[in-house]
Amino acid sequence: MCIRRSRIALSTRAVMKCCVIVLCCLITPVFTGDGPPKRKPVFPEPIERITITEPGAKVDFHPEIKYCGSSRIDERRVRYFLRHAQSSTDYNYRQALLVGNCSADAVVRFKGGRQIRLSVEDGTGWGRAGEGRSATYLVCEQCDDLLDPKFVFPKTRP
């Protein structure tokens, strides 16, 4: 009976040691200041050129109606969106859209020749990057109201 208890105690100690080691490995990044791993951008290639064909936003489902007011897109907004956007799904994109929402488009050419047509939705932080017949749906949490002329770009750290 004495031998059996010591084996149980030994196995319990081994399990506890393993738990402590795993816990230390999980907590270490929090205390070292590394934080969560940085997300890789959806389009990591350097941008060669951004073409804005029509800077004013349009209504998605009724292009003849022009009530999007002062919503605009420019090169700075395109770069900001692409730098902060993460890919999502078609389903999530469609759930977030409002019927009659405004959007603005840009053509982005990357070094190496890759080219996308980027459509940024006003007021939602969502966008769509079309490349040929395929599309990548993008969401940017910091980009709500990005097309608004009063949008405040966060100050960058030196």
Domain layout of the chain by residue ranges = 1-37, 47-143
Work out the average pLDDT over 80-103. 81
Q: Mean pLDDT throughout 19-26? A: 51
**More confident: 86 or 123:** 86
- 99-128 pLDDT, tens digit each: 557 888 999 999 999 999 999 988 888 999
Position 2 pLDDT exceeds 80? no
Model confidence at 7, pLDDT cuts 50, 70, 90, reads: low
Q: Which tens digit of pLDDT belongs to each residue from 32-55?
A: 444 445 567 788 899 999 999 888
| 111 torsion bin: left (phi>0), alpha (psi -120 to 50), beta (else) | beta
pTM metric for this prediction? 0.69
pLDDT digits (tens, 9 = 90+) for 58-81: 776 655 555 677 888 999 999 999
Which DSSP string do the residues of 117-148 spell out, in sequence order?
Answer: EEEEETTT-EEEEEETTEEEEEE-GGGTTTTS
How high is the pLDDT of residue 35? 47
Number of residues that this document lists for the chain:
158
Which of these, 134, 117, 25, lies nearest to 73 by C-alpha position?
117
Residue with tokens 């090169």: 75
- Compute CA distances 61 → 11, 81, 85, 94, whole Å: 66, 22, 24, 13
3-state secondary structure of 36: coil
Contact call for residues 122 and 145 (beta carbons, < 8 A): yes
Q: Please give the pLDDT value at position 33.
A: 47
CA 77 to chain centre: 14
Pairwise CA distance, residues 65 & 54, whole Å: 15
57 pLDDT tier (thresholds 50, 70, 90) = confident
Average pLDDT value over all residues in the chain: 77
**The pLDDT of residue 155 is above 60:** yes
In order of 6, 23, 25, 53, 73, the CA distances from 14 in angstroms are 12, 14, 17, 66, 60
Beta bridge partners of residue 130, listed in sequence order: 117, 135
Is pLDDT of 4 > 70? no
